[in-house]
């Protein structure tokens, strides 16, 4: 029976993995190694600034353990969302690391570089055609929003990766990518069922997070067959179970049966999960339904100002009981003194609702202390510093009702108490765009080191 083996070393490139697990992966003679290298989870800053959110040395460590061995065994390595956010700056950053590794190990891989950056003129044309639609909670998009966005990328599907693999490539280095695509591309190219391939990619893109106990820092193997795929752990510390695989299928999804992606969606209505060994699970029945119009998710960011924060603690029970009213007064007074356009002042109150804010169902404060992060955003760093400093000093000495203390209300773990964090970005674009050709829209170049 025909099958193909897909090795996933880690949940995100740079997160790491045990060398023993990687060795076990290579012993299984994989046909391809897939590496999801990024995510939008860390927020818009990294896309906006073109910076990675994983340390360079960590990424180089992972790649240096993988690329030389894969090259010598003629196993293609496919990297998606290079550099963390997948814009051109991130891709070039990752390419430099690969070049250093190639030089050190005296290898000469052929590399396909697929950029995910979107042309603004193209997007504004699509906007006029009504071919851009918002995702849930996405901001309104206009031509001005497109012009004011700094980096705009699209999540590529399997199509440009398949085209690159047609050129006998050793490494595919991709910009922003639909996470399962780097794992599904070669199986689909070789005639395996797209539904099974994409579903397999959906599971192994997070590597051992889908196993139990879960970990983003361990390797797993996916084996696709004609009518199913099998998930196999590469460490005796973990195992795949029906529950862990089924649960991860729902990871980051709002619908248990329909999982949208580039060019269509996964139909999981008839999917079956079967425990075939104590540590392996077989999955069957997943189908990919092609859409009438091919769409891609686009992500864009815009600079909105500069941020300053101050971290402090409250231990006084009297102040704790009045914290909402106290902060309301502090905010009102501060904004009255510094009413600059776009100025923002907020408070993250840990021990109360610092994680969920207004969505927190537990309204009663039960902790003996509160941790508060004062956050100020303004048009310049100096203005943000001023806003935060004024709020912090006002809060420190505010005379709330029934106060017993005569000095400071706050405890500061750090000196200086205020930290200038720098530029603040927002997701200005989080939409779906219709495209005529899912390959040509992505610029691709081929090099040999």
Task: Judge if 253 and 361 occupy the same domain.
Answer: no
92 with 206, same domain: the answer is: yes
Residues 8 and 113 in one domain: yes
pLDDT in tens, 335-368: 999 998 889 999 999 999 999 999 999 999 999 9
Rounded Cα distance between 329 and 398, Å, is: 10
Q: Are residues 325 and 295 in the same domain?
A: no
pTM (2 d.p.) = 0.94
Provide the number of structural domains found in the chain. Answer: 2
- Residue 341 domain-assigned? yes
- Non-local (6+) Cβ contacts of 3 within 8 A are 223, 224, 225
pLDDT (tens digit per residue) in 110-144:
999 999 999 999 999 999 999 999 998 898 999 99
Q: Are residues 147 and 198 in the same domain?
A: yes
Residue 13 belongs to some domain of the structure: yes
The answer to whether the beta carbons of residues 310 and 373 sit under 8 Å apart is yes
Q: Are residues 274 and 343 in the same domain?
A: no
Round to whole Å and give the CA distance between 98 and 105.
11
Q: What is the pLDDT of residues 386-441, one digit of tens each?
A: 999 999 999 999 999 999 887 789 999 999 999 999 999 999 999 999 999 999 99
Rounded percentage of the chain residues whose pLDDT exceeds 90: 95
Asked if residue 415 belongs to a domain, the reply is no
Q: Judge contact between 322 and 401, C-beta under 8 A.
A: yes
Q: How far does Cα 430 stand from its chain's mean position?
A: 14
Q: Which domain holds residue 364?
A: 316-410
Same domain, 192 and 331: no
Quick one: 204 and 246 in the same domain?
yes
The helix/strand/coil state of 103 is helix
Q: Is there a contact between 358 and 379 (Cβ–Cβ < 8 Å)?
A: no
| pLDDT-derived band at 1, boundaries 50, 70, 90 | confident
Q: Are residues 42 and 69 in the same domain?
A: yes
What is the 3 state secondary structure string of 310-350? EEEEECCHHHHHCHHHHHHHHHHHHHHHCCCCCCEEEEEEE
- State the average pLDDT for the chain: 96
Query: Do 187 and 261 sit in the same domain of this protein?
Result: yes
**62 exposed, middle or buried (CB, 10 Å; 0-12, 13-18, 19+)?**
buried
């Amino acid at each position: 029976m025909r099958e193909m083996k897909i090795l996933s070393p880690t949940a995100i490139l740079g997160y790491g993995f045990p060398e023993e697990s990687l060795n076990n992966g290579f012993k299984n003679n994989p046909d391809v190694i897939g590496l999801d290298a990024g995510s939008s989870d860390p927020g818009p800053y990294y896309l906006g600034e073109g910076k990675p959110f994983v340390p360079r040395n960590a990424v180089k460590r992972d790649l240096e353990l993988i690329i030389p061995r894969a090259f010598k065994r003629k196993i293609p390595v496919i990297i998606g969302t290079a550099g963390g956010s997948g814009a051109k700056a991130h891709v070039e950053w990752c390419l430099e690391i690969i070049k250093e590794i190639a030089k050190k190990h005296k290898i000469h891989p052929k590399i396909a570089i697929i950029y995910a950056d979107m042309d603004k003129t193209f997007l504004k044309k699509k906007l006029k055609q009504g071919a851009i639609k918002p995702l849930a909670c996405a901001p309104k998009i206009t031509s001005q929003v497109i012009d004011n966005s700094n980096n705009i990328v699209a999540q590529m599907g399997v199509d440009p990766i398949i085209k690159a693999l047609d050129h006998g490539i050793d490494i595919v280095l991709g910009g922003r990518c639909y996470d399962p695509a780097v794992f599904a591309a070669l199986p689909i190219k070789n005639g395996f069922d797209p539904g099974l391939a994409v579903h397999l990619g959906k599971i192994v893109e997070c590597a051992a997070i889908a196993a139990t106990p879960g970990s983003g820092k361990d390797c797993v193997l996916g084996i696709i067959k004609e009518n199913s795929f099998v998930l196999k752990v590469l460490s005796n510390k973990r195992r795949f179970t029906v529950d862990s695989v089924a649960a991860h299928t729902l990871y980051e999804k709002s619908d248990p049966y329909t999982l949208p992606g580039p060019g269509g969606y996964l139909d999981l209505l008839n999917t079956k999960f079967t425990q075939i060994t104590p540590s392996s699970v077989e999955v069957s029945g997943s189908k990919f339904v092609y859409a009438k119009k091919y769409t891609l998710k686009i992500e864009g960011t815009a600079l909105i100002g500069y941020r300053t924060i101050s971290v402090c603690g409250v231990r006084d029970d009297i102040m704790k009981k009045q914290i909402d009213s106290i902060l309301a007064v502090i905010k009102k007074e501060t904004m009255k003194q510094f009413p600059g356009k776009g100025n923002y002042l907020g408070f993250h109150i840990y021990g109360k609702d610092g994680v969920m804010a207004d969505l927190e169902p537990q309204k009663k404060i039960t902790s003996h202390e509160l941790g508060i992060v004062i956050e100020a955003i303004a048009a310049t760093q100096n203005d943000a510093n001023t806003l935060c400093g004024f709020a912090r000093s006002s809060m420190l000495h505010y005379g709330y009702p029934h106060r017993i203390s005569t000095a400071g209300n706050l405890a500061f773990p750090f000196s200086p108490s205020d930290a200038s964090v720098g530029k603040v970005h927002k997701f200005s674009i989080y939409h779906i765009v219709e495209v005529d050709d899912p390959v040509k829209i992505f610029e691709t170049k081929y090099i040999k080191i």
